[in-house]
Amino acid sequence: MINFLNLRYFVRVAEERNMTRVAEQEHISQQSLSNHIKKIEQHYGVQLFDRTGGLTLTYAGEQIYNYAVRVLSLQSDMESEIRDMTNTEQGTLRIGISYTRGSAFLPEILPEFSKRNPYVKIDVVENNSQVLEEYLLRGHIDLYIGANLRPTAEIKTAELMREKHFLVVPKDIAALHGEKAELSEYVKEPFLLLSKGNRIRDMFDEYLRRENISVNTRLEGENIETLFALSCKGMGITVYPEMFLRIHGGAELLVNSPIRLFSLDSDIFDSVLYVAYHEGKYLSNAAKCFIELAKEKSE
């Protein structure tokens, strides 16, 4: 007979497409991981993976994967609801959030959450928005914190806060332009921008199109903190969300820093932070507690 652990390891391998990486992340040997996969194959008499030219799911593997995701999601819901019914304040709360936003937002919430839920384990899953939305749909995480999320039939959202975005201008560059706040003053200066496809970059590009402005993009990158650090060193101008300024003490504490901050006042940059959860899954008491705390801390 196969069990939930067999299914969980199979789902992990199916999504990672890499046995070595999953074995390392799960702290088991590759042989043990292979044995979990073989149990499912032997039970159903099918091959789950095509190993020629990589690790891809067979047709049977795809079907079993779809069912396994649903089975594991139902198992998670069942355990959460039974714990709540019996007042067993244990279990795990899995929170998805972007890499940088986690360091700005979670320290405001998790210490108090842990005090109220001392026996609940917290798993923080950090990734980009596209991956986290998929994780929420698949039931791999319980809550997803992100900006400008759109509710769907499956995903419900609760608004936490609105945030501004700032143009980060090195002090020496700002001085050359009389420290004017208009973006048009700085278009010939070097810009340090997130790569295309990132939400903040998409908003900025839309703003440029609307204003019929082009800028001198000197550098593109994936990490907004790296761009901010380079801007602080005078390398160029970047765009930075208000929430992330908490990491550096807040906008008001940057007055004597090597940068100047100018608010980007446009409806394009109206950003709303949400916490999202799956409508079809059981929302545990721990998840409800986290949502309420997040709302309180965001007011």
* DSSP of 176-221: HTTT---GGGGTTSEEEEEPTTSHHHHHHHHHHHHHT---EEEEEE
CB-side neighbour CA atoms (13 Å) of 298: 22
CA nearest to 126, candidates 95, 98, 94: 98
Give the tokens for residue 96.
């998805």
Provide the residue ranges of all domains of the chain, joining segments of one domain with +.
Answer: 1-87, 89-162+270-299, 165-264
Per CATH, domain 1-87 is 1.10.10.10: yes
pLDDT, residue 54, reads 80
123 close to 95: Cβ distance less than 8 angstroms:
yes
- Angle at the Cα of 71 (from 70 to 73), degrees rounded to 5? 65
Same fold, 1-87 and 165-264: no
pLDDT, residue 42, reads 93
Per CATH, domain 165-264 is 3.40.190.290: yes
pLDDT, residue 52, reads 83
pLDDT, residue 191, reads 97
CATH, domain 89-162+270-299, list 3.40.190.10, 3.30.70.260, 3.90.980.10, 1.10.10.10: 3.40.190.10
CA distance 272 to 20: 39
**pTM, to two decimals:** 0.71
CA nearest to 76, candidates 16, 26, 7, 128: 7
Other residues' Cβ atoms within 10 Å of the Cβ of residue 136: 24
pLDDT, residue 255, reads 60
| H/E stretch holding 262 | strand 259-263
Please report, as a single letter, which amino acid is at residue 110.
Answer: L
Instruction: Per-residue pLDDT tens, the chain, 299 aa: give them.
Output: 889 999 999 998 998 888 888 888 888 998 999 999 999 999 999 999 988 878 899 999 999 999 998 898 888 888 888 877 777 677 889 999 987 788 888 998 999 999 999 989 999 998 888 888 888 988 889 999 988 887 788 899 999 988 889 999 999 999 999 988 889 999 999 999 999 888 889 889 999 999 999 999 999 998 888 999 999 999 999 999 888 887 776 656 566 688 999 988 888 887 888 999 998 888 899 999 999 999 988 87
